Structures are given as structure tokens and as C-alpha cells.
Amino acid sequence: MSAAATAIGDSRIARLYRSTVGKKAIMAVTGLILFGFVLGHMAGNLQFFLGPETLNHYGRKLRELGPLLWVVRLALLGTVALHITAAFQLWLLNRAARPERYVKLTPTTSTYASRTMIWSGPILLAFVIYHLMHLTFGNAHPDFNHDLNVYANVVKGFQQPAVAICYVAVMALLCLHLYHGVWSMFQSLGLSHPKYTPKIKRFAAAVSLLLLAGFSSVPLAVLAGFHRSI
């Protein structure tokens, strides 16, 4: 490919990225990747109910990935950064298009989830950092076991009521974020339709509630004492 053709291709990509459509497409694609990760992460968490041996084996298998695990982590971190950057830039574009705030906001088609997306994203990012420090690296854990005793770390970590309750609250925020994100993703990719959009919204609501129940079940079970002795 010639230098001129490459330059034209690069300029098209740059114009697409600068456009609202391009930013929405980036949010949709990165959101889809992160949604898949959240589902997989919940499946891993639920192994807590299969007992210490199963959960600890799961933790060891992840560590055995070695450098590949860090490649995945860095890729996810880059995806999160791109997702938040595109969201913030869209917010700035919308704000610039409407410099004067409404005297009285009377939402018609928007939902509470959609109106709080710009705030829920950074809050969730802060939680992810804390979550890694709490149950992955142990910096914020009261009694972290570095010998890959994942089960003991989860139990001791969530035996603190404030931590467990905050975890459930953030999971509710995550699911509110996902509810809007999942169905709007189809719109961003040009797949919306009056016939199918209501079904997609119901699907998004069902999946969000399922994720909330799955993620919340572990800290609530620990608080209630439904766990094996450690």
C-alpha cells in the first residue's frame, strides 16, 4: 500500500473517531468486550459455592497463565480506558451542543440509568481499582493469604459488613450501568428496530438482574455465615 493510500486510510479513521457515530461505535464494541468479561467473572465468583478446593483450584489455574494473565489484564485496562474516554468525549460534545442547561429537566425518553452513565463509569473504575487491591493484590485486605487461598481471602474480606454492603451497592450501580449499556449498544451499532428494541430492553433488564444476584450472592452469603470453615 502506498503512503498516500495509508494517509487517506488514517484520515478516515481519525474522522470516524472524531465523529459522534465513531465514538458511539467504540463505546459499543468496548462495552461488549467488558460485558463478556463481567459474565465470565461472575461465573468464576460463583465457584465459591462449590467449596474451597474448587475456588482455590480456579485461582491457581488463573495464576498458571503467567504472562498471558497480564496480557489479558492490560488489554482489559486499555478497553476500560477507551470506553471511558469515548463516553467522556461524547458527554462533552452533547454539552457543547446544548450550552444552556434546562430550566427544568423533564425526561421523556431517557432513563435514570442513561442520565447517570457519565457518573457511574468513573465510580465503577474506582471500585475496580479497590477490588484489585482488596482480593487480587491484598493491599486493602485485613488478612490477605498470599498462598493462593482464594476462598479464605474472600471469606475474611467480606466478613467486614461495610465492605460487603458497599460491594453489593456498587454491583447494583454496575447493573444499572449495564442495563442501559446493553440495549443502547444495539442502537449504536445500527441494530435498533421498533419491533425488537423492547425485547432487547427486557433482555438487558433480565441479564442485569441476574448479574446483580450472582455478584451479590457471595458477600451476602459470607455475612450470613453460609460458608465453609477456614
- The domain locations on the chain are 3-224
Residues 121 and 87: beta-carbon distance below 8 Å: yes
Task: Give the model's pLDDT for residue 170.
Answer: 94
Q: Determine contact, residues 155/164, Cβ cutoff 8 Å.
A: no
Q: 37: Cβ–Cβ under 8 A, 6 or more apart, which residues? A: 76
pLDDT value of position 144: 94
pLDDT for 2 = 53
CA 90 → CA 25, 30, 72, 85, 168, distances in Å? 11, 15, 27, 9, 29
What per-residue confidence (pLDDT) applies to 95?
76
What class does CATH assign to 3-224?
A: mainly alpha
Mean pLDDT by 10 residues, the chain (230 residues): 50 73 85 92 96 95 91 91 86 71 46 58 86 92 90 96 95 89 75 78 92 97 89
Buried b (16+ CB within 10 A) or exposed e, 19-44: eeeebbbbbbbbbeebbeebeeebee
pTM: 0.80
Distance CA 4, CA 10 (A): 10
